[in-house]
C-alpha cells in the first residue's frame, strides 16, 4: 500500500514564475493538507482540502492556491514566485476527523 | 493563541541510552491532541505517537512514550534504548480544530544525534 506520494521531489524555479506541486494521498484517505517548511523551521499550515473544496486556509497570500480532484489527489499552485517561497512543501493526508495525518516526503522548491 | 514550544535546538545521546525531548504547549481549548513526528534528512514526517487531552494514561508506542503533564502543559517525548537510526529532527505538534476542519501547529523542532 503506497503512502502519500509527492512530485516532483526537487524543483528549481526563477522569481516571478509559477509552479505546480502534486500530491497523491494514502489509499482510503479523503482529506489533504499542505504545509510549507522553511529551512530550520517547523511546518506551517497552508490549506486543507476535502471533497474538492478548500475548508481552511492558513496565513498565506492568494498567490498560493490549490485544488483537489475527485480521486482525492491534490495540487498546490504558487504564482509570482518570490525568493522567500523557497522551502520544503509537505502534503499530508488522513481519513476521518480523529486520526493522525500521514505525510509525504515533500517537494523541495528552490527559487533563484 | 495556540503555540508549541521546543526549547532544545539540539540533543546528543549515546546509543542504548534514554533521551527526553521537551515540548510545552499553549491552548485554551478543552479538547486537543498532541503529536510527535520524526523527520529524517529525507524530509518525510514520520508519525511517532499521539496523546489526546482527555487520555488518562500516557501514550506509549514501542520505544516511544509521551510524558503528558496536563497541568504544566507539557508533552515530552521519551525515547528509550536509543539507536543510531533515531538521529533526526523531532517535531512536537498540536491539532487545532476549527469547525469541521483541523490543522497541525508545529514547534521549531529538536535535532537529535545518537552517537556510538
* Number of CB pairs, chain A paired with chain B, less than 8 A apart: 58
**Which pLDDT value is given to residue A110?**
98
Shortest CA gap B2–chain A (Å): 13
Q: Residues of A numbered 46-85 whose beta carbons fall under 8 angstroms of chain B's beta carbons: which are they?
A: 48, 50, 55-56, 58
**Which pLDDT value is given to residue A98?**
66
DSSP B45: -
Test mutation, B21, B43, B49, chain A, max A CBs within 10 A: B43
**Which pLDDT value is given to residue A89?**
98
pLDDT above 70: residue B107: yes
DSSP B81: S
**Which pLDDT value is given to residue B87?**
98
**Which pLDDT value is given to residue B98?**
82
Q: Can you tell me whether residue A62 is helix, strand or coil?
A: coil
Low-confidence ranges of chain A (pLDDT < 70): 1, 97-98
Cα B12 → chain centroid: 17
pLDDT band at B78 (very low <50, low <70, confident <90, very high): very high
Nearest Cα neighbor of B7 from B108, B93, B112, B113 is B108
**Which pLDDT value is given to residue A1?**
63
Q: Does B100 or A21 have the greater pLDDT score?
A: A21
Test mutation, B5, B31, B102, chain A, max A CBs within 10 A: B102
Per-residue b/e over B40-69, b at no fewer than 16 CB within 10 Å? Answer: eeebbbebbbbbebeeeeebeeeebbbebe
Facing A42 at nearest CB: one of B33, B102, B109: B109
pLDDT above 80: residue B51: yes
Facing B44 at nearest CB: one of A56, A101, A103: A103
Instruction: For residues B3-12, give the mean pLDDT.
Output: 97
pLDDT tens-digit series, residues A90-112: 999 998 766 788 999 999 999 99
Q: In this structure, are residues B8 and B110 in contact, taking their beta carbons and an 8 Å threshold?
A: yes
State whether residue A43 sits within 8 Å of chain B by CB: yes
Number of Cβ within 10 Å of residue B10's Cβ equals 10
Instruction: For residues B36-45, give the mean pLDDT.
Output: 94
Amino acid at each position: 500500500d503506497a503512502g502519500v506520494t509527492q512530485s516532483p521531489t526537487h524543483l528549481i524555479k526563477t522569481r516571478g514564475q509559477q509552479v505546480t506541486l502534486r500530491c497523491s494521498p494514502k489509499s482510503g484517505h479523503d482529506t489533504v493538507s499542505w504545509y510549507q517548511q522553511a529551512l530550520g523551521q517547523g511546518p506551517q499550515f497552508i490549506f486543507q482540502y476535502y471533497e474538492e473544496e478548500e475548508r481552511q486556509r492558513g496565513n498565506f497570500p492568494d498567490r498560493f492556491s490549490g485544488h483537489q480532484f475527485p480521486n482525492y489527489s491534490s495540487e498546490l499552485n504558487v504564482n509570482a514566485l518570490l525568493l522567500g517561497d523557497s522551502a520544503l512543501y509537505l502534503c499530508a493526508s488522513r481519513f476521518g476527523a480523529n486520526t493522525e495525518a500521514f505525510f509525504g516526503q515533500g517537494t523541495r522548491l528552490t527559487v533563484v | 493563541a495556540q503555540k508549541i514550544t521546543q526549547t532544545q535546538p539540539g540533543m546528543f545521546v549515546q546509543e542504548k541510552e534514554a533521551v527526553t525531548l521537551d515540548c510545552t504547549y499553549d491552548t485554551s481549548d478543552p479538547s486537543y491532541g498532541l503529536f510527535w513526528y520524526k523527520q529524517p534528512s529525507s524530509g518525510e514526517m514520520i508519525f511517532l505517537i499521539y496523546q489526546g487531552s482527555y487520555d488518562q494514561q500516557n501514550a506509549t508506542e514501542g520505544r516511544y512514550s509521551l510524558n503528558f503533564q496536563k497541568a504544566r502543559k507539557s508533552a515530552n517525548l521519551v525515547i528509550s534504548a536509543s539507536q543510531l537510526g533515531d538521529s533526526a529532527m523531532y517535531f512536537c505538534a498540536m491539532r487545532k480544530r476549527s469547525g469541521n476542519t483541523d490543522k497541525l501547529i508545529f514547534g521549531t523542532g529538536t535535532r537529535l544525534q545518537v552517537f556510538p
